[in-house]
Every structure is written in structure tokens, then in C-alpha cells.
Amino acid sequence: MKRDVIERVLWSLSVDRFSKVKYKEDPNKFLSRFALDKSDIEKILTFDVKALQEMGVNPMLTMGYWVEMSPDNSMQTYNQKLGSNGVHSASIKG
């Protein structure tokens, strides 16, 4: 299932130093190793955490990916990207 592949990618980018380095060197090359379509790759490259969560990706993985890899890793920006509908569980209020 596509969601499982995306979760594996986000987990890897959250915890694996080698993956983080390879992603920073060439994000598209790193992501080409996985069975992802262009839409999935775009969501990851643009840090579209809301779209990722809406497709069922674990909120803790999107948050870990955001904190570790986003150029603007502030939780305030993360919460703004999620929106205010309250359906996303991995966000810090305030």
C-alpha cells in the first residue's frame, strides 16, 4: 500500500542519519528508491503534512519528518500547515 511506503520514507528521514544526508544531497534521487508516484513525491518535497495525514499517514511520522527535515521546523508553522479543523492528532497546541 502506498501509505506504508510513505510511512517508511518518513520514518527513515526522521531517524536514520544516512537517509537524512542522502535526502539533503539530492531529494529526488533519494525518493526515487521508493515506489512513489509524482504526487507522493511532491507531498514529501513540499512538506504537505496535511495532505499526508489526510491520506492516512501516521501523524507522529509527519511530525517527526517535519521537525527533522523541514527548513522551517517550528511547531507553530507545522500547526498552521495542518489547519484548524482539529482532526490531526500529532500537533502541539499553543
Question: pLDDT for 31-78, tens place per residue?
Answer: 999 999 999 999 999 999 999 999 999 999 999 999 999 999 899 999
Residue 89 banded pLDDT, cuts 50, 70, 90: low
Which of 40, 39, 46 lies closest to 7 in space, CA to CA?
A: 40
4 has pLDDT over 50: yes
| pTM of the complete model | 0.85
93 has pLDDT over 60: no
Residue 83 is predicted with a pLDDT of 86
